[in-house]
Amino acid sequence: MSGPADSRDVVLGRVRAALAAAPGDPAPPDIPYERAVDRAYLREHGSRTVAETVDLLAGNLADYRALVHRTDTAGLPALIARLLAERGARRVLVPGGLPGEWLAQAAPDRVPDRDDRTHHELDAVDSVVTACAIAIAETGTIVLDAGPGQGRRRITLIPDHHICVVRVPGQVVSSVPQALERLDPTRPLTWISGPSATSDIELDRVEGVHGPRTLEVVLVAA
């Protein structure tokens, strides 16, 4: 009786035979890797104005059950203060580089993020306020890259309430290909489409499984 090693040899032999060129077939051309795959896909779907792109982002965020708010730069501090008060937040986590004026009217205790903070400490805060790197309208996705005002990935996964500020229209793109052109792939990218949720168990939606239960996105017109 053949053993596992024999079976492996049989399978690998069949793979090698299938991959081998048939007699008389010309050798494949030496095409550089970057040209070997046709990437002539659409960079965006349809034609939209800037305002329509922002509206699409807001609509898709809402479809994912994120709470969407709109304001301007002058109204941002008051809006953030109101959202934290409505949440009953007593301690808010503040990543390094977050503009100080954003929380100028907020009453909760501010907890500066530090590299040595444990997950227990992060779980003890009520809310976290961050900026973002970019937002994608067609997918309703916000992307964080640990840049100024965004902090480490864990600070947006452990606290139960996340307020994310998106500058409009400068940080809004239509599609994923457009986003990838503006993102640095060497940075730690966190892609967020709505609050954390799963429907795996008996198809019942449960929120707050592996991230914040509540995501609020503030679209700030420049």
CATH code, residues 50-221: 3.40.50.10420
CB 103 within 8 A of CB 77: yes
Predicted confidence pLDDT, tens digits, the chain (222 residues): 455 567 888 888 888 777 775 666 666 666 565 555 666 777 788 889 999 999 999 999 999 999 999 999 999 999 999 999 999 999 999 999 999 999 999 988 999 999 999 989 999 999 999 999 999 999 999 999 999 999 999 999 999 999 999 999 999 999 999 999 999 999 999 999 877 666 666 666 666 566 688 999 999 997
Query: pTM of the prediction?
Result: 0.78
**Residue 64 contacts by C-beta under 8 Å, 6 or more apart in sequence?**
140, 193, 194, 195
The answer to whether the Cα torsion of 54, 56, 60, 66 is positive or negative is positive
Cis peptide upstream of residue 169 (ω within 30 degrees of 0): yes
Write down the domain spans for the chain.
4-36, 50-221
